Amino acid sequence: MPERADRTLVSAGPRTALERWLALVVRYWAFNMSLVHDRGSNWPGFGYSNQEKDTLRAIAARVSEKEYALWLGLVVVFILLIMAGVTTEGLNILLAASGGEKNMANTPMAAFYLELVLDLVVSFSIGFPLAMVPAAALVGRWFSVKDTDLPDRSTASTLFRKLWFQITRAALVCCAVIIPLWIFVPSDSKFWVVSKLIVPLLSPAVAALSAAYYFCRRLRRGERSSSET
């Protein structure tokens, strides 16, 4: 199985710039998902077969933690910029459709909710994968990643389409759940009061547990490397 997975890293001929960028996205996404799979868990809605997991691990094996961390940081920056642009454009379209700011008070609430849903769907289904591309292109250039270290065209295309579908599906499901809650649950309800109390309390604990898990994983990797030598 590992030998079969390693074959996906063989590059067949020169790539176009777009093919290289998408392969780089798959490279860093493979590292991201391998962190989850190595923990023995799966993200809901982001399922992979055992063979796909082996392929992701083979791709991720050539990615350093520093390289991945830089890519992730750039993705956050780009997605925030894209979301800000999408939200601004959505508001401009809503203003134009309602006849300007003077008529905003008479605009139906349904129009506001529709604009919000469209902003979220576009931001996550298109903006999130799109943010990964320039981040991957920049990091791949800074770290001088060779084409031979990237998945082949078929593997890169298949995995990129899958991650795009998974992200789009997750965005649609989140909108289908969160927007009705926001619309129909009163802002002073017990649900929101408890949420505002629990989330700030749980955030430090989640951050601490995540950091502890990451540190322990690095220790296990170091022990494995020393035992092999």
If pLDDT is split at 50, 70 and 90, which confidence band does 5 have? very low
Whether the pTM exceeds 0.75: the reply is: no
Contact 58, 4 (CB under 8 A): no
For range 9-32, the mean pLDDT: 84
What does the pLDDT look like over 89-98, one tens digit per residue?
Answer: 888 888 887 7
Beta strands in 106-225 (DSSP E): none
pLDDT at 2: 47
CA 51 to chain centre: 22
pLDDT at 3: 45
Residue of 26, 11, 18, 27 lying closest to 161 (CA atoms): 26
Q: Which of 23-32, 126-135, 142-151, 184-193 has the lowest mean pLDDT?
A: 184-193
Contact 26, 59 (CB under 8 A): yes
Q: Which of 40-44, 60-64, 213-217 has the highest mean pLDDT?
A: 60-64
For range 130-159, the mean pLDDT: 93
Taking the C-alpha atoms of residue 131 and residue 9, their distance in angstroms, rounded to an integer, is 24
Taking the C-alpha atoms of residue 95 and residue 31, their distance in angstroms, rounded to an integer, is 42
